[in-house]
Amino acid sequence: MTATLSPARLTPAHLLTAAGPLWVAVSFAQAATRDGFDLGTAPLSMLSLGPAGWVQVLNFLVAGVLTFLGASALPGVWPVRLMRVNGVGLAAAGVFPMDAGTVLTWHSYLHMAAGTASFASLAATCFILARRFRRAGARGSAALSVVAGAAMALGDLWAMSGGAWGSVTIAVGAAASMLWVSTVAARV
């Protein structure tokens, strides 16, 4: 008997499964190692600035493309559409970096618009997945979906309101929801 190996196929589920952990790992590794960066006062998007900023720009672009292409792995029409919006938003956040100072330029406004669309679609995806899981009787997955969606929505709202440690709440919300959607994609 001869054993043969068939070539591995890259599926949308693989792409979406990789997107969240990649973005989270690269972002938090930079936050921990970049001289002068303080997540308590600066959002992860500020990592796109300076001589090493290209790493975060590339991180946004790659995660955005992986998310957009992998979105079709999710069940249902709306999660796919919303995660494609999330992917476009991530990529746009890489193309249009924030400004370092208090004066905002057009590309900083585009970055914030992309982030808003990206975060809102990510939270909405989690809530829609919660409903789908609840209907299927998967209570644990439904609860985790609600927690991830709430972490994203509340973290973003707190940060946008100027709340203390807002950059931390938005980072935790983004990480929790991106990792949850990647986990769901890995299970399909």
- What three-state secondary structure class fits 186? helix
Q: Report the alpha-carbon distance of residue 102 to residue 187 in Å, rounded.
A: 43
Contacts 24+ apart (CB under 8 A), 96-99: 97/45, 97/48, 97/49, 97/53, 97/57, 98/43, 98/45, 98/46, 98/48, 98/49
Residue 101 belongs to some domain of the structure: yes
| pLDDT greater than 80 at residue 114 | yes
Residue 4 belongs to some domain of the structure: no
Whole-number pLDDT of residue 2: 66
Tokens linked to 63: 């995660």
**DSSP H stretches of helix in the chain:** 12-33, 53-70, 77-95, 106-135, 139-160, 166-187
Give the mean model confidence (pLDDT) for residues 25-54: 96
**What total number of domains does the chain contain?**
1
| pLDDT greater than 70 at residue 162 | yes
- What three-state secondary structure class fits 167? helix
Range of the domain at 49: 12-32+43-186
Whole-number pLDDT of residue 188: 83
Question: Chain-wide mean pLDDT for the chain?
Answer: 95
The percent of residues in the chain predicted with pLDDT above 90, rounded, is: 91
Residue 180 belongs to some domain of the structure: yes
Residue 120 belongs to some domain of the structure: yes
Q: 77: Cβ–Cβ under 8 A, 6 or more apart, which residues?
A: none
3-state secondary structure 51-103: CCHHHHHHHHHHHHHHHHHHHHHCCCHHHHHHHHHHHHHHHHHHHCCCCCCCC
Give the mean model confidence (pLDDT) for residues 129-140: 97
Residue 157 belongs to some domain of the structure: yes
Tell me the pLDDT band of 47, cut-offs 50, 70 and 90.
Answer: very high
Residue 3 belongs to some domain of the structure: no
Residue 48 belongs to some domain of the structure: yes
| pLDDT greater than 80 at residue 5 | no
Match 């796919």 to its residue by tokens. Answer: 80
| pLDDT greater than 70 at residue 67 | yes
Whole-number pLDDT of residue 1: 59
The percent of residues in the chain predicted with pLDDT above 70, rounded, is: 96
State the helix-helix crossing angle for 12-33 and 53-70, rounded to 10 degrees: 160
Residue 7 belongs to some domain of the structure: no
